[in-house]
Structure 1
Amino acid sequence: MLNFIGTGSAFNTKLGNNSAYIKNSNSILLIDCGGTVFQNVQQLDLLNGIKNIYIIITHTHPDHVGSLGDIIFYTYYMLKSKVKLYFPEAAHIKSFFSNIGVKDEMYQLYSSANAIIEDSSLGKITLQFMSTAHTETMPSYGFIMNISGKTIYYSGDSNSVDSSVVKKFIDGQIDYIYQDTCALDYQGNGHLYIGKLCKLIPIQYRNRVYCMHLDTDMTESDIIENGFKVAAKI
């Protein structure tokens, strides 16, 4: 359902910063824009012919917003358009922009916890943001997204999966889960250890869970052997 520009954690430079997208015709929806993302977007020529750019931000760690300013500048100056940006904390994201020179007139911000995107190429997309357990230093969000008749939960960075999400997933109300997953288990970890994910998701449902934001100790075989799928970098 989602295409991935990168699938790595902050220090997993081999896989690149975790970022996903959906593209159709002249419209693209991006999820997060870490430091490696704009370069990869350019190398993949993803913005060729694009008129409408929608970006969902989960939180403002550098591996999730490091090149967000670059994409906004490029869209504004080169494509003569404005990024439509979705993040529930308006004051927080504007404070970030003020420090990197992104002006209010360069983008359109939608900061509601619930949002609707209506695009002629992508169709109708609904978003429901949910706070996640990741870090105490900034607000962090995952979201439930409905697109093309499918419902997706995207965790952003999180060391848990909310019980309401698990219930909806098992009941068939959520089709796919894209979950931040790591190989390390330690106190204060902001990411979800795969052993804990195994306890949350019964084995018969794991083939609809895609592990992403992988650290350098996580192997594809670890993920597959536990019944999950690997978010594949294009």
Structure 2
Amino acid sequence: MLNFIGSGSAFNTEMGNTSAFVKQSSSLLLIDCGGTVFHRLQELNLLDGVENLYIIITHTHPDHVGSLGEVIFYSYYILKQIPTIFFPNKELIESFLTSIGVSSEMYKLNGVEIFEIIDVDDMKLGKFSIEFLPVSHVDTIPAYGFIMGLNDKSFYYSGDANNISVSVVNRIMSGEIDRIYQDICGLDYQGNNHLSLKKLCSILQPEYRNKIYCMHLDKHITNKEIRDNGFNVVEVYK
């Protein structure tokens, strides 16, 4: 369903900041926009010809918003388009963008409430829906995952989280959602801000693990470890 620009954690720079996209013709849907993302978008020519740009932000850590300003500036000045940003905390994202010099006329903000389903109908991407869910990550800023419906399929995207809610687990078990994109790490310790592979194994039984696509990987885990436990690893678009 998703293509990935990068799949690394904040400190795993070799894999790039985790970010995903869907592109159809002149419409681009981008999930998160960390410090390495604008460079990769340019490198892959993904912004060429874009007339409709949608950006979903899960939280405001640098590896998720570090080049958001550049993407907005490029869209506004070069593409002559105003992107739409989806984020539940309107005041936080407006304050962040103002602090880096992005003025309000350069973007449209859809500050959808958590648990509220927003429906979008794009001529190229078709109809898609977003439902933001609060996740447990850090105490200093709010963080969100979301469930998206797109092309008659649905998925959950964790952003950054140290757990998976019972609600999401039940939805994957019942078939209500088709797959989960989950950030995981190799380190396992009390108070970890991310979900360890060990903890993920304790949450999901083997028969459901083929529906899980692991992302935001640190340097303490290998693709082989992930796959040996029955999970998938996202592949980076080239």
Confirm or deny: 8 A CA contact 2:49 2:79 kept in the other structure: no
1:202 positional shift: 1.0
Deviation at 1:59, TM superposition (A): 0.1
Give the Cα separation in 2 of the matches to 1:26 and 1:218: 37
Aligned to 2:19: 19
Correspondence 1:206 to 2:209: yes
Provide the residue aligned with 2:78 in structure 1: 78
SS in structure 2 at match of 1:39: helix
Q: Pairwise mapping of residues 127-142 of structure 1 onto structure 2 (< 5 A)?
A: 127-142=130-145
Secondary structure of the equivalent of 2:15?
coil
Stretch of structure 1 that moved more, 110-119 or 62-71: 110-119
CA offset at residue 49 of structure 1? 1.1
Q: CA RMSD of the aligned region, Å? A: 0.6
Show CA shifts across 1:28-64 (max 9, x none): 1000000000000000000111100000000000000
- How far apart are the structure 2 equivalents of 1:28 and 1:8? 22
Q: CA deviation at 1:206?
A: 0.7
SS at match of 1:189: coil
Partner SS, residue 139 of structure 2: coil
Calculate percent identity across the aligned residue pairs: 54
For 1:1-234, list aligned pairs within 5 A.
Answer: 1-113=1-113, 114-234=117-237
Question: What amino acid maps onto 2:137 in structure 1?
Answer: H
SS in 1 for 2:12: coil
Q: Which amino acid aligns with 1:62?
A: P
Structure 2 unaligned spans of 5+: none
- TM-score (norm. length: structure 1): 0.99
User: What is the rounded CA distance, in whole Å, between the counterparts of 1:218 and 1:101 in structure 2?
Assistant: 38
Runs (4+) of structure 1 exceeding 6 A deviation are none
User: Aligned partners of 1:49 and 1:233: how far apart in 2?
Assistant: 22
Distance (whole Å) between structure 2 residues aligned to residue 118 and residue 186 of structure 1: 43
| Shift, 1:149, TM fit | 0.5
Give the Cα separation in 1 of the matches to 2:119 and 2:142: 21
In the alignment, residue 217 of structure 1 is paired with which amino acid?
H
| Cα distance in 1, alignment partners of residues 39 and 141 from structure 2 | 26
- Deviation of 1:199 after TM superposition, in Å, equals 1.1
Alpha-carbon distance in 2 for matches of 1:131, 1:21? 21
Question: Aligned partners of 2:229 and 2:24: how far apart in 1?
Answer: 33
The one-letter code of the counterpart of 2:20 is A
**TM-score, length basis structure 2:** 0.97
Cα deviation, residue 115, structure 1: 1.8
Report how far residue 205 of structure 1 moved.
1.1
CA distance in 1, matches of 2:159, 2:137: 9
Q: Is contact 2:36-2:67 (8 Å) kept?
A: yes
- Please identify, of 153-162 and 181-190, the stretch whose mean Cα deviation from structure 2 is larger: 181-190
> Match for 1:41: what amino acid?
L
Q: How far off its partner does 1:186 sit?
A: 1.2
Q: Distance in 1 between matches of 2:123 and 2:204?
A: 36
Mapped to 2, the partners of 1:105 and 1:49 lie a distance apart of 21
Q: Shift in Å at residue 102 of structure 1? A: 0.3
